Structure 1
Amino acid sequence: MSEKEAKARIKINKLLEEAGWRFFDEDGKPANIQVEQNVKISKKQIDDMGENFDKVKNGFVDFLLLDDKGNPFIVLEAKSEDKDPLVGKEQAREYAKSLFVKYVILSNGNQHYFWNIYRGNPQIITSFPSYESIKENKAFNADPARLYNEDVREDYIAVVKNPRYSEAPEYQNPETRMKFLDDNGIKFLRHYQINAIKALQKSVKKGNQRFLFEMATGTGKTLTSAAVIRLFLRSGNAHRVLFLVDRIELENQAKKNFQDYLSPDYHTVIFKENTEDWRKAEIVVSTVQTLMFNNKYKKYFKPTDFSLLIVDESHRSINGNSRAVFEYFLGYKLGLTATPKDYIKNVDVEKLKATDPRAWEKRQLLDSYRTFGCESGEPTFRYSLLDGVRDGYLINPTVVDARTDITTQLLSDEGYAVINQTDDDEEEEVYYAKDFERKFFSEETNRMFVKTFMENAKRDPISGEIGKSIIFCVSRKHAAKITQILNEFAYKLFPDKYQSDFAMQITSDVMNAQTYTINFQNNNLSGTTKFLENYKSAKTRVCVTVGMMTTGYDCEDLLNIGLLRPIFSPTDFIQIKGRGTRKFEFSYKIKIAGETQEHKYEKDTFKLFDFFGNCEYFEEKFNYDEIIKLPKPQSKGADTITPPVDGTMYENFDPDP
């Protein structure tokens, strides 16, 4: 027997001791582990089992873990390392039933499962729960029927803010109703959000404990999550909820939203700001990175501290090493994603290189579906961008093909394969990531991109100025260049309207950048527009960024998005596109001859300028809505216009490199 195979019992003993279970009387506390009911175990009995239960018939032992009164509380079926813990599931179930015990632990020293035999399936755990943690967790003793029988209607969140909202005269009057709801922060669930919760309830009734919502950006995943949180807390099926995100800006936004939706009934905190008193809150928000750092999740939490775990953009938040955080906690688990499993159409992912980010993300997406119990590929609930457009909640972009005329092989294996005309002859030049900015983003290239954008950008329907826009660049250095050129163009095109504030760089190295994004959203970045007096719209029209504004940023009146960078992640592409899909009504009031006139225009589309063929990167032969023919560059050599990109040659892991 090898050294590795001979440690199952030792590992299990250690896990038991770490969780406060005792083979023998210690410090005045009685032993709470038995092999036979009402019979204390001896050290000789333990040693006689063998280090790998190799001296025990059938290679397993059923331990009884006792409660504080000495009664059987948990059946622990311990196996040798070469056996799958789930092999003994049925035997453990029958033994537990015979003892009137509902909790079972299945372990081979390396893999462990915790199971309430009357609720759902065995859950993977990374450490053993203590007696106190299970006893204190009311959710372990809750009735799932209260959850799936709960009546969830459109005002399920509204009544938290004001239980008697419907009695208010301002609500009963149709003319003042919308203002009353806005002023009081009262939110109603849409029909598909109610359907999502009903799908979860149906899944719980079937005994499932893991769920996946696939919902398009802009369809209100956070509001839906708030309703799910209230459902679990109100029904007693959760005593505390952990909401995991993968970016700091999403952490702050989630806290704000949950406070807006669920206060005063439930209290929300960000873990890193409340490391000592997070237990006072029902909802704890954290980035997965915070919990992973120095294994904080093990230092600060017990596996039973949260009865419900919600993971935003689940396939990114719990990939790789992050999975340990996810599996550490017991309880129900809900994954949220805006990225459909089959998003990468017409591309055979199996034929892609292992380093290709499309292949990597496809694997993560498939793994997420399995993780949340959706092996069939069907999520617990799905609501797509097309569903949102069909129902009138979202709008589709007008996708503009702004690529160049340079012939190139899309996604060339060698990198950027570009034909350059020299004085003597044609020659092919191949560029890699390190050459990206130096070779392609010449002054001429940047000016051509900016000119194309300025001439074709969608205009504000009321003021006539360039509509609010976000441009995504390759790097902070590139963003600085584009910002400068945009401001130079604006100075010439719109004299006296801007003072080098038509465009603003929004990257992590810019002081107060996060505040600028909020001001842009609230239409007071650099003040208000100079095009129309008393019109509420930001003076700055374009935010130039790299990755800061890709996710978790809502700007409903956005009319243009410019992709001056290649995008290799389907999630990033969907999130960036989603910045513009929200509906908005532009309005302006003006007094003429003593009478107030109001002008209103519905946002019916937004423009997505694709300078890199990003759409075809994910979907070959993409049908663009508009095609702009950019002129060929006049200079030679390095001054070439950017062709499509090979994702294997350029990786951007930093939001603002």
Structure 2
Amino acid sequence: MVLVIGMEPEREARKNIDRLLEAAGWKVQDHDKLDLGAGPGIAVREFTLDNGEADYLLFVDRKAVGVIEAKPEGTTLSGVAEQTQKYLNGIPKCIGQVKNPPFAYESTGVETYFRDMRDPDARSRSIFAFHRPETIREWLSDEETLRSRLKNLPPLRTEGLRDCQTEAITKLEKSFAESRPRALIQMATGSGKTFTSVSFIYRLIKHAHAKKILFLVDRSNLGRQTLREFQQYTTPDDGRKFTDLYNVQHLTSNSIDPVSKVCITTIQRLYSMLRGEAEFEEGNEERSGFDTGVTDERPKEVAYNPNIPIEEFDFIVVDECHRSIYHVWRQALLYFDAFIVGLTATPSKQTIGFFNKNLVMEYNHERAVADGVNVGYEVYRIKTEITEKGSKIEAGEYVDKRSKLTRQKRHEMLDEELVYDPNRLDRDVVAPDQIRTVIRTFRDRLFTEIFPGRKEVPKTLVFAKDDSHAEDIVNIIREEFAAGNEFCKKITYRTTGEKPEELLQSFRNSYYPRIAVTVDMISTGTDIKPLECLIFMRNVRSGVYFEQMKGRGTRTISPTDLKAVSSDAHHKTHFVIVDAVGVCERDKTDSRPLERKKSVAFKDLLYSIAVGKRDEDTITSLISRLTRLDREIGEKERKEIENVSGGVQLKTIINKLVDAIDADSQEARAKQMFKTDSPTREQLEKAKEALTDEACKPFDKPALRDTLVEVKTRSEQIIDEGSIDNLISAGFDDGAKEKARAVVTSFKEFIEANKDELTALQIIYSQPYAKRHLAFKDIKDLAEAIQKPPRNLTPERVWQAYEILERSKVKGAGAQKLLTNIISLVRFTEGQSDVLEPFPETVDSRFRKWVEEQEKLGRKFTAEQMEWLNMIKEHIGASLEISVEDLELTPFDQKGGPVRAYRVFGSELNWMLEELNEVLVA
């Protein structure tokens, strides 16, 4: 007996292949037991061909349609395709066969590759199992393959689409035409990802004749939201609703409607169906399926299910695809032989890797705000002592202890001291007054500072740590606002009575509730357009998740729809994040508030651009102001702006400003400018400068600047920034950025109000260099004026405020009591200086430059002359000016006073002092 060891692995592979074929509905036969009438699909083993022996020859309806090449487990299959192709060409003409049998499989029983030779540029792809004979029959009846049809889609009709949506669909369809199996679309939350999806799904069904499309959602309530999008979508060609033309099924049972064209479900229900489970509790879909298993490292494994074959769907769209779906649920997703399209606002590295780096669309928050697709945000910080430092309970005090599960309380004495830090708040320890202090501060400042001028509470969403924390917050909000139950509602998975979906509907469309408290049910995907305020009473470690939570506020809404639920709201120009835990201070996401110069008047911001101030903070602040303006004005005002800008639309102006600060745009310009694929840092800087100059050029025109200011004044609601002082003194930490902003704002307002009255300011602003003779008395008057009520400022306080807000631009210690520093402060505040440095340092740098210029002119100073010049320079730095009489003072008197100075410099002394007074101070 001879044992052929080398054949054993292949025999084992064939056993697995037989099993997979039979599961897919094929009858597997030996060559000598051939019976082509035994079923619609027959797989014949070891079939002799004209040029060899095929491991399996496949027959459908008695005709040969393809071959399978079997290899031992572990074989790399990419090099086997040529062998399979040879066998396809060697099928004997004497047996029944379709024209040029096209279907080629290579398999180890563990891994299987497939290609259809009729596809353009036919390319092997990995599949989970074999296709059914019925599917092969259906494919053969089509004149073209799906991939052929994807190459010839008609031009996209762009009516009703935003520019970003048009770009996303166009680039996605290019990816399909190239037969790329996976594509990722990144679009900012609120920019219309679902509408984009419905639009390209309609084209895939109508023009590419896709048989069925799977739309995977994060949670069941998002499935209902997606279904509404399909129901409301009006097709661009004949004007009928999508659901009038095609069946859309939102799965509420484990049964797929055979006539549905679109099937909407969650990943957890899909997994249940693949496992063959007859029922699945709908309540299991209310939690995020993509987040389930984040701490569970074991992927969910699936096996072939004959009732749901791998070809059930041609396309899979995965909404909110930024989370653990690619680890825990990976097999369920890769089960199907389908194109996969991911939708997300915040792709992680794992997400981009899963989609083979095929990121067909990048549309970030800043671009969406600039386009008016989204609104930006501002951060309002609330700090309390317990939130920041925790607290302690003395031993011997009586406390309530409450069950987390039942919330039942018992009263007992604490037998030892309990010291807790902020991380234990609302987990182990509940401090009701900490919650109350945050809510009361929000209530008291709501209509004066957060939403000044408003009278009714904007739609507000509070993020709590868990359901119990949410319960405490709801009760305290109702008490502090002296409101009934309908005013504030909890919307979590444990909400009883009203269904979460009904509560969401009310929050979205009705006057009540004004405030909703949630844990994470409304954190992603859920569309609440009237939402104007988010309160974070929980920290979030995941940057991606935090970006999604912030995204709840970015949605735009028409003024009419906004007023329907918030009658005193006129426009949704932005939303406010009320940060009660410092979550924004630990934000690792890319998007930031665009508005970085709130204290600078719009007119001054435009002017600073015109005179050449081009730093990123100034440009991003201008973008923020212009995008808000664009949302508030009508066509009449847009035409006015267009007329004075030389025919350039406001949106175009905004987008060019965005390009100027966008790294990708800078790189593209550098490549174009310098004809290189790898621009140097210097080339990137020059490209940035070119983009910035182009973007800022329209603001050279005074007519455009004046029109923008005039239009803004006409349409803008006035916001009183100065009232922040009360909030800081009432409940903010003394070192908070809010206090620093208030100090700088107050200083700015003081300058604006007094520039025509105080001599020092008049000289700085209006006198030519030759006549700028600042006297120390003028600076002293200026310092005394800012110290008077209601400002109560000092140069040191203003300097320290700038150190907090713009630390990278502040040089040296400003806390020293040197009155001349006020000159540096004024110049920095008004944009005349890019850095804030002590006035003596400015004088020093100008002095060095003056000395170098003198040396270039041939003037060489002796060591003694340089000693005197340095003393003169230091006197000017501290006292603003110098005269011959000052040479009688210290330290000059110790060197011989005016007599010695005349001997050192001769007749040039008077001229030199006059020139240094002008050059070093101007």
TM-score by length of 1: 0.70
Superposition deviation, residue 276 in structure 1: 4.6
Could you tell me how far apart the structure 1 residues matched to 2:435 and 2:204 are? 52
Cα distance, 1:379 vs structure 2: 0.5
- Which structure's CA Rg is the greater one? 2
In the alignment, structure 1 residue 190 sits paired with structure 2 residue 190: no
Match of 1:289 among 268, 272, 278: 268
Separation in 1, partners of 2:35, 2:584: 66
**Structure 1 residue 607 corresponds to structure 2 residue 563:** no
Change in CA separation of 1:622 and 1:552 when aligned onto 2, cut-off 3 Å: closer
Matches within 5 A, 1:213-232: 213-232=185-204
Q: Which residue of 2 aligns with 1:171?
A: none
> In the TM superposition, what whole-angstrom CA distance separates every residue of 1:19-39 from its partner, at most 9, and x where no partner exists?
233224469517432434569
The residue type equivalent to 1:554 in the other structure is: D
Q: Secondary structure at the match of 1:279?
A: coil
How far the C-alpha of 1:370 sits from its partner, in A, is 2.9
Matched, 1:75 2:75: no
Structure 1 residues 431, 88: CA separation in 2 closer, same or farther (over 3 Å shift)?
Answer: farther
Equivalent position to 1:371, from 350, 354, 357: 354
1:446-465 equivalence runs, <5 A: 446-457=435-446, 464-465=455-456
Deviation at 1:316, TM superposition (A): 3.0
* 2:84 matched residue in structure 1: 92
Q: Is 2:515 the partner of 1:508?
A: no
1:474 aligns with 2:465: yes
Higher relative contact order (CA 8 A, sep 6+): 1
The DSSP-based 3-state class of the residue aligned with 1:80 is coil
**2:1 matches 1:29:** no
CA contact (8 A) 1:306 1:330 kept: yes
Residue 547 (str. 1) matches residue 553 (str. 2): no
Supply the distance in 2 between the matched residues of 1:396 and 1:251 (Cα, whole angstroms).
27
Equivalent residue, structure 1, for 2:546: 573
- Judging by fraction of residues, say which structure has more helix: 2
* Total equivalences in the alignment: 514
8 Å Cα contact 1:244-1:317 kept in structure 2: no
Secondary structure of the corresponding residue to residue 199 of structure 2: helix
Amino acid at match of 2:248: T
CA distance in 1, matches of 2:81, 2:507: 57
The secondary structure found in structure 2 opposite 1:154 is coil
Distance 1:324 1:16, change over 3 A: same
CA contact (8 A) 2:527 2:552 kept: yes
- 1:65 and 2:67 matched: no
Q: Which residue of 2 aligns with 1:361?
A: none
Is the contact between residue 588 and residue 600 of structure 1 (CA under 8 Å) also seen in structure 2?
A: no
Q: Deviations over 1:117-161 (max 9, x none)?
A: 435643332221122123235788336345543111123xxxxxx
1:16 corresponding residue in structure 2: 21
After TM superposition, the structure 1 = structure 2 runs for residues 315-326 of structure 1, keeping only pairs within 5 Å, are 315-316=322-323, 318-326=325-333
Conserved 8 A contact 1:218-1:582: yes
Q: CA contact under 8 A between 1:200 and 1:211: conserved in structure 2?
A: yes
Structure 2 residue 400 is the aligned partner of structure 1 residue 400? no
- C-alpha separation in 1, matches of 2:480 and 2:592: 31
Aligned to 1:389: 369
Evaluate the alpha carbon distance shift between residue 621 and residue 83 of structure 1 in structure 2; reply closer, same or farther with a 3 A threshold: closer
Deviations 1:593-630 (A, max 9, x none): xxxxx998221111112223323434299977799765
Distance 1:372 1:128, change over 3 A: same
Of all paired residues, the percent bearing the same amino acid is 28
Q: Contact 1:142–1:237 (CA<8 Å) still a contact in 2?
A: yes
Partner of 1:494: none
1:371 deviation in Å? 2.7
Separation in structure 1 between the aligned mates of residue 513 and residue 87 of structure 2, nearest angstrom: 70
Q: Which residue of 1 aligns with 2:102?
A: 102
- Structure 2: segments with no counterpart, 5+ residues: 92-99, 234-241, 277-303, 396-416, 599-723, 734-922
Are 2:314 and 2:339, in contact at CA under 8 Å, matched by a contact in 1? Answer: yes
> Are the counterparts in 1 of residues 150 and 176 from structure 2 also a CA contact under 8 Å?
no
Deviates more, 1:498-507 or 1:284-293: 498-507
**Residues in 1 aligned to 2:324 and 2:246: alpha-carbon distance in whole angstroms:** 25
Partner of 1:178: none
8 A contact 2:543–2:589 mirrored in 1: no
> Is the aligned partner of 1:142 residue 2:146?
yes
Cα deviation for residue 479 of structure 1 reads 0.9
Q: Secondary structure at the match of 1:310?
A: strand
Letter in 2 for 1:79: K
| Other-structure match for 1:414 | none
1:132 paired residue among 131, 134, 141 = 134
CA pair 400-87 structure 1, distance change in 2 beyond 3 A: farther
Give the superposition deviation at 1:521. 0.7
State the alpha-carbon separation in 1 of the partners of residues 562 and 368 from structure 2.
30
- CA distance in 2 between counterparts of 1:20 and 1:305 reads 14
Change (3 A) 1:387 1:135: farther
Deviations 1:203-225 (A, max 9, x none): 22323232111111111111111
Q: Which residue of 1 aligns with 2:862?
A: none
1:196 maps to amino acid: A
Paired with 1:122 and 1:589, the residues of 2 have a C-alpha distance of: 52
2:135 maps to a residue whose letter is: S
Q: 1:452 to 1:304 in 2, by over 3 A?
A: same
Shift in alpha-carbon separation, 1:618–1:588, aligned structure 2, 3 A: closer
Are residues 461 and 602 of structure 1, via their aligned partners in 2, closer, same or farther at CA, if it must alter by over 3 Å?
A: farther
Q: Secondary structure in 1 aligned to 2:165?
A: helix
Whichever residue aligns with residue 132 of structure 1, its letter is E
Alpha carbons of 1:218 and 1:612: their partners in 2 closer, same or farther (altered >3 Å)?
same
What is the DSSP-based 3-state SS (H/G/I as helix, E as strand, rest coil) of the residue aligned with 1:285?
A: strand
Relative distance call for 1:264 and 1:279 in structure 2 (3 A) is: same
Contact 1:488 1:500 in 2 (8 A): no
CA contact (8 A) 2:184 2:359 kept: yes
| Structure 1 gap segments, 5+ residues each | 46-60, 156-187, 341-364, 409-416, 492-497, 524-537, 591-597, 633-657
Deviation digits for residues 517-552 of structure 1, max 9, x if unmatched? 1011112xxxxxxxxxxxxxx143101111221223
Within 1, Cα distance between the matches of 2:370 and 2:463? 28
Give, as a single letter, the amino acid of the residue that structure 2 aligns with 1:454.
R
Q: Distance in 1 between matches of 2:562 and 2:591?
A: 41
* Alpha-carbon separation, structure 1, partners of 2:82 and 2:446: 65
CA contact (8 A) 1:240 1:283 kept: yes
Amino acid at match of 1:309: I
**Preserved CA contact (<8 Å) 1:398 1:606:** yes
Q: Secondary structure at the match of 1:601?
A: coil
Contact map agreement 1:214 1:339 (CA 8 A) in 2: yes
* Equivalence for 1:530: none
Shift of 1:430: 7.0
2:557 corresponding residue in structure 1:
584
